Amino acid sequence: MRKGDRGVLKDEGPAPGSSGVAPPSGPPSRPASGPSSGPARLAAAWSGRDAFIYAFFSINLVTLGLYIVSQAWYFHGGMIPALLAGALLVFSEVLVYAALIVAIPGSGGDYLWQSSILGKAAGFILAITGWCFILWLWTPIYGDILRQVVLVPLAAVLGFGPAAIAISSSRLVWFAIIALMVLFVLVVIARGMAFYAKVQRYCFWAGNAGLLAVAIALLAGDRSNFHAIFDLASLKLFGITNAYEAVRTAGEAAGATTPLWGGGAARILLLLPFLAFFNLWPNTGASLSGEVRGAHEFGRNVATMGGALAATTALLILVLLAIDKGIGWNFYMDANAAYWNGRSHPEAAAAQPYWPYPALLAVMTIPSTFLRVLILLAMGAWFFGWAGTIYLSSTRIIFSAAFDRLLPAGLAQVDEKTKSPFKALLFMVMPGLIVSALYVWNVFGFASLTLMSTAVIAITFLGTAATAILFPFVKRDLYLASPLGRRSIGPLPLISIAGLVFAAFLGYLLYEWLVDPSDLFGISWRNATSLVFLAAMYALAALLYLGLRGLGKGPAADIDAIFEDKE
C-alpha cells in the first residue's frame, strides 16, 4: 500500500491465496471487495461534509434526543447539566474512533480493529452482536419514532384527530409503519452511498429549517398563555376537553420530577445512562470510513465526529430552553410522564394519548394550517435523513466479516452499479421484522428492552476502548508507523488515554444498566427477559463464529495473515 493511501479504494490488499502480510510502512488493510464479488468495489462516495451530516443525524436531537428526554421524566438531576457532562465524556469516544480510523483503515470499523488487537473471535462476537443483532431491536424503536414524529402530528393538524390517536395507540398500525419504514431504508441504502448522501443532505437543510421555525415559535410564545392555547388546540385537534389540567394532574400523579437545571452532581450522573441512548453515536459512521474521502486524517475525523456531537448538544439545549420559554418545562415533563405512564398503564392514557412532540406543541401556537403542515413536514426530514443509520453501518460490518469467511461469502458481494452490499442489507431486514413483532406485541416482555438496544452496543464499544488502550503496546511497530505515533500526553499515547477514559465511562454506564442499584433503567438482573435476550445474542454470535469459521473454503484471504504485522 502506498504511503497515504489508507482508504479501501486505493489499497489492493492481499490477493486471494496470498500471504496478505502488510508492508512495514503502514497498517494492515483489506481489499475493497470481498471474495466472489467480481470487479465491483466499495467506492469512496462521501466527502467529509457527508460524513459530518451522517454523524450529526446519528445523534439525532429530534428523533433520539427529544424521544429519550421525554422518557427521562422521573429523575432528579438537571437535564442541561447532564447533557453537557455526557457530551464531555463522549468526546473520549470521538478521540478513540478518530485515531483507530487512521491507524487501522478500511471498512469494518469495530470488527476490523478488535480482530486486529483482541483476536478474531472477540472481534466477530462483539461487533456482530453490537452492530448487527442488536439493530434488530432498534427496528421497532425507529418505527415508533416515525409514527410519533411524522405521522401522528400530520394527521392531527390535517383534521384527522381520531386517526392520529389510532396511529399512536394501535399495535397493528405500528407494525405496518415498521414494515413501510424498513422498505424505505432498503430502497435508500440499496441505491448506494452517493444516493444516500443526497437524501441526507436534503433532509439536513429541510430539518434544520423546520427546527428554526419551531424554535422561533417557542421563543416567541409565553408559557403563561400556553394553558389556553393548549386547551383550545387539544379540543380542535383531538376532541379533548380541559386538557391542560388533566395533563398536569396525570403528570404529577405519575411522579414527573426531572428539572431543567440543578439537582446535584450525583443525581446528574444518574441521568447519563439514559441520555446515552441519544448521544453515544457520533462514531456510527466509523465502519464506513473506507468510503469517505479524507478519512485518513486524524484532525478531520475529530472535527467530523466531535463537531456533530457539539452541534447536536448545543441545538438540543437551545430547544429545551425554548420549550421552557414557550411551554414551561414543568408542564412539558408532566405531559411526558402522562404519556409514557399511559403507555404502560392504558387506563391512564386518556390524559395524554399522543406523544407530546415539541414541534406539535409549538405549531399549536400558529393558527395557519398550511404553516403547521409545512413546519411538521420539514421536521419530518429529521427522521428520513436518519432512518438509514439503522442498517447502513451494519452492512459494512457484515461485509467485512463475510470477506473473512466468518459469515457466508455471498454477503460480501457488492452490486456493480450501486457499490452497495445488498445481500448484507437483507441479512438485517427479516430478523428485524421478527423482533419488531415481539416488541410491538410485548411478547415475553420485549417492550421493556428499549435501553438494552444501547447496552449491547456499549459492550462492543468497550471492546474498542480496550483495543485503543492496547494498540500502542501490542502493535508497537504499526502504531509508530501511523500518524498516531506523534500524538501523546507526556509518556502516554493519546489513544490509550482516550481509551481509558472511554472505558471508564462505559463501565459506569454498564454498571448502572445491568446492576442498576437504584432500579431506574429496567434492563438489570431484575428483568429476566433482559438477561435471556443478552445471553441469546452473544450465544448466537459465538455459535456463528464456531460454525462458519470452519466452513470457509476456496479462494479467500488468509484471516490470520491479514491481521499480522510483518516480522
Place of cell 443525581: 267
Strand runs labelled E in 468-542: 488-489, 492-493
By the 8 A CB rule, do 169 and 353 touch?
Answer: yes
pLDDT at res. 158: 97
By DSSP bridging, strand 492-493 and strand 488-489 are antiparallel
pLDDT at res. 71: 96
Q: Going by C-beta distance under 8 Å and a sequence separation of 6 or more, which residues neighbour residue 266?
A: 77
Distance CA 203, CA 195 (A): 13
Q: Which three cell numbers stand for residue 52?
A: 459530518
One pLDDT digit (tens) per residue for the chain, 567 residues:
333 333 333 333 333 333 333 333 333 444 433 333 333 445 566 788 899 999 999 999 999 999 999 999 999 999 999 999 999 999 999 999 999 999 887 777 899 899 999 999 999 999 999 999 999 999 999 999 999 999 999 999 999 999 999 999 999 999 999 999 999 999 998 888 889 999 999 999 999 999 999 999 999 999 999 999 999 999 999 999 999 999 999 999 999 999 999 999 999 999 999 999 999 999 998 887 777 776 788 999 999 999 999 999 999 999 999 999 999 999 999 999 999 999 988 777 788 999 999 999 999 999 999 999 999 999 999 999 999 999 888 888 888 888 777 888 777 777 677 666 777 778 888 899 999 999 999 999 999 999 999 999 999 999 999 999 999 999 998 888 888 878 888 889 999 999 999 999 999 999 999 999 999 999 999 999 999 999 999 999 999 898 877 555 433 433 333 334 333
Place of cell 502506498: 2
Indicate the pTM of the whole model. Answer: 0.87
Q: Which of 282, 426, 277, 296 is nearest to 1 (CA)?
A: 296
Q: Tell me whether residue 425 is exposed, middle or buried, using C-beta atoms within 10 angstroms of its C-beta: 0 to 12, 13 to 18, 19 or more.
A: buried
pLDDT at res. 43: 53
Cβ atoms within 10 Å, residue 5: 15
Which domains does the chain show, CATH number per domain? 48-449+535-551 (1.10.4160)
Q: Is 357 helix (H, G, I), strand (E, B) or coil?
A: coil
pLDDT at res. 390: 92
Q: Going by C-beta distance under 8 Å and a sequence separation of 6 or more, which residues neighbour residue 339?
A: 70, 352, 353, 354, 355, 356
